Structure 1
């Protein structure tokens, strides 16, 4: 009983120390394991020049999340030129991680999400509600950047677009996708923000693992203040629904398959 009372008291002290923070900026590192397969491409001389060596096995980038006034904004920390790789046959592949040039705005009070997405050099504004998963608290705890965190797990069942290159031709198809998600959040900052799954947990998310390391977000720094004026809905692009965006993407992918010519490809990796 004494141990339980001490734990609760310590928790109350931590919440008192940190609980007043209602705004801030978090920088996250995102690591994505590549799953793109290149088949039928000229391998060149030697066994080491095979298709699997054309592409890196993972990619890292950084995102920032600004939060305050019951809202959050996620965007890239800096824009970098897409990585480019080429084989001896002259085929060039541009690697672009999903979300590189995208902005996601969330309003927690009205359950609203507005995303600015880019695909094939076109911009779209997609408005939707927060689709909450069923989270389970495991009781596991850890400390991230000196913040006490709790573990929550969930499963997301959906679909994703899988791209392959066969004999110099890019092909895409929609496949079933079940994601097992582990998130670490802190009640010391009672704001439901994060690099993903915004508005779903009672505290700031500082780390996420999707499918045992396939995609990992890790907080690198937390600042107690932010530019509140920057937290606003994005507006650059054509306004569409989620269904309309998916339809436009499928149409553009079909056009790319017909007109690509087999020499220059832009691949989007990730969610």
Structure 2
């Protein structure tokens, strides 16, 4: 009986140790966007335009770039990663950076959007997630499914988080689950972001921002108002808003 309890204790200690090791690290994500799917679902476009889009933008693998997330128990840093050898597209913006600080519950976003550079600072507002009864293996980590939505962009979000990496971080603007988000998609595959590599331990080179940030500084609420107005104006003029805003 004592041997049984000892084995159980050892398993608990091993599990606790592994979890403790998984709270600092770096993740490389593949960010894939499918413009043909997005365009085909835009309002007020004709069937002729849809057909033209299919011929011009159809790509079964999507258009890819690599992103990088660094995480600690108290914060995360996110920006572009090393480019692929063959660039899928050439209009990647230079400035795109997100820092989430979970100690003081604030964030900083520094990004080129809608033809301008914005510096957005505000309090963290955790997305409303519903955890579902589905699991999926990603890079050897058993991940649970969670769903949410972005009412401003009209997006349904499906995320997969790894509870054995017990930090509430994730790529892009996704966070707030009881484990690192290793993958998510928008509107059933219009955008897919998936982890390609995870390295645990202190990152060799910490993501840094320029000492002087140049751009229009706004609150999170003000930035949401700007995005909402931009989308509404684009829809009225039958323009695709995702050319100005990250999808």
TM-score by length of 1: 0.65
Q: Which structure's residues are more often strand, by fraction?
A: 1
Report matched runs for 1:9-158 at 5 Å.
Answer: 13-34=14-35, 35-36=38-39, 50-57=52-59, 58-68=62-72, 70-78=74-82, 83=89, 101-147=95-141, 149-158=142-151
Q: For residues 47-77 of structure 1, what are the alpha-carbon distances to aligned partners after superposition, in whole Å with 9 as ceiling and x for unaligned? A: x9x4542334431111000112511111011
Q: For residues 160-184 of structure 1, what are the alpha-carbon distances to aligned partners after superposition, in whole Å with 9 as ceiling and x for unaligned? A: 3xxxxxxxxxxxxxxxx141x3222
Describe the shift of the 1:71–1:245 C-alpha distance in structure 2 as closer, same or farther (beyond 3 A): same
Conserved in 2, the CA contact under 8 Å of 1:19 and 1:187?
no
The answer for the alignment partner of 1:239 in structure 2 is 217
Describe the shift of the 1:138–1:233 C-alpha distance in structure 2 as closer, same or farther (beyond 3 A): farther
Shift of 1:156: 1.5
Describe the shift of the 1:199–1:100 C-alpha distance in structure 2 as closer, same or farther (beyond 3 A): same
Conserved in 1, the CA contact under 8 Å of 2:139 and 2:197?
yes
Describe the shift of the 1:131–1:244 C-alpha distance in structure 2 as closer, same or farther (beyond 3 A): closer
Q: How many residues end up aligned between the 2 structures?
A: 224
RMSD: 4.1
The answer for the alignment partner of 2:176 in structure 1 is 200
- The SS at the match of 1:124 is strand
Q: Which has the larger radius of gyration?
A: 1
Conserved in 2, the CA contact under 8 Å of 1:136 and 1:153?
yes
Alignment gaps of 5+ in structure 1: 1-5, 85-94, 161-176, 259-265
Higher relative contact order (CA 8 A, sep 6+): 1
Shift of 1:82: 8.3
Shift of 1:100: 6.8
Q: Bigger CA drift: 203-212 or 31-40?
A: 31-40
Q: Bigger CA drift: 220-229 or 210-219?
A: 220-229
TM-score by length of 2: 0.70
Shift of 1:123: 1.2
Structure-1 separation of matches of 2:72 and 2:144: 23
Describe the shift of the 1:65–1:123 C-alpha distance in structure 2 as closer, same or farther (beyond 3 A): same
Shift of 1:248: 5.5
Q: Which structure's residues are more often helix, by fraction?
A: 2
